[in-house]
Amino acid sequence: MKVSLIQMNSGQDKAKNLRDAEQLARQAIDQDGTKLVIFPEHFDWAGGTPKDKVAAGEAERDGPAYDMCRKLAQDCKVFVHSGSFYETAPGGERVYNTSVVFNPQGQEIARYRKIHLFDIHTPDGLRYGESDAVAPGTATAVVDIDGIKFGLAICYDLRFPELFQQLRLDGAEAIALPAAFTLQTGKDHWEVLLRARAIETQCYFLAAGMTGPFEQNGETRYSYGHSLVCDPWGHVIARASDGVGFVSARIETARIVETRKQIPLASHKVL
């Protein structure tokens, strides 16, 4: 299966972000013949205050980001992973950070709401309080995409290996991880964590990232970018350059089988 990761620098102009996302996806489909497109976290809207984030939330279905992804899948006859967008949570006081996967008929086939929320102070002293606006999800998700089982996760989830072990137990052969890693953490941890999770689970990892500056709470902050694909052995087989664009790679099921045969981790587990 040919997959394409879309790397974006989204802001608070939702209509522009959606146009940019669709244009990049169509370029990837036309140029590389991709069968699965994955957008980054917050691809449709990024930045702002907690109040702005809640206001940017969409209904569970039929919002602008949802509709664009659904129509793209239908028009191009491909699978589309929405990266993530804000979905209004019950009560309307917070939102979920939500991924949706569409099949080539435009039907929703999976939904995942980010479980682990990014509440930290980075080394440069900036505070990130995702839970100020976002409610955590409670369920994992694995979906069949053209015969390959994909586990779903989002950004900060990457730091919690037990989540990926559960996805592996649930049959995952690849992991889709849209992200908006900070520059401070990304430069030291992004590739290391992705390769480690790939090796531990013996899954492909497809990590689509936001890149460059964005405005949050009146401050300019930076996302790391460097979208990349790891194979089950932990090799980086594709990586995006700096800036907006896309990167494509081929997922080979034989590589998954070979890796799991060479090191049969599943049969060696004792805990």
Q: How distant, in Å, are the alpha carbons of 47, 187, 209, 224 from that of 180?
A: 11, 12, 5, 7
Non-local CB neighbours of 67 within 8 Å, separated by 6+ positions: none
DSSP codes of every residue in 196-244: HHHHHHT-EEEE-BBEEEEEETTEEEEEE---EEE-TTS-EEEEPPSSS
104: alpha, beta or left? (left if phi > 0; alpha if psi -120 to 50): alpha
Non-local CB neighbours of 131 within 8 Å, separated by 6+ positions: 117, 119
CB 238 within 8 A of CB 249: yes
205, β-bridge pairs = 175, 230
- Please give the Cα distance from 21 to 27 (Å, whole number): 10
DSSP one-letter code for 77: T
Count CA atoms within 13 Å of residue 95 on its CB side: 23
Residues annotated catalytic, as ranges: 41, 114, 155
> Scanning the structure block, which residue is given the tokens 């919690």?
160
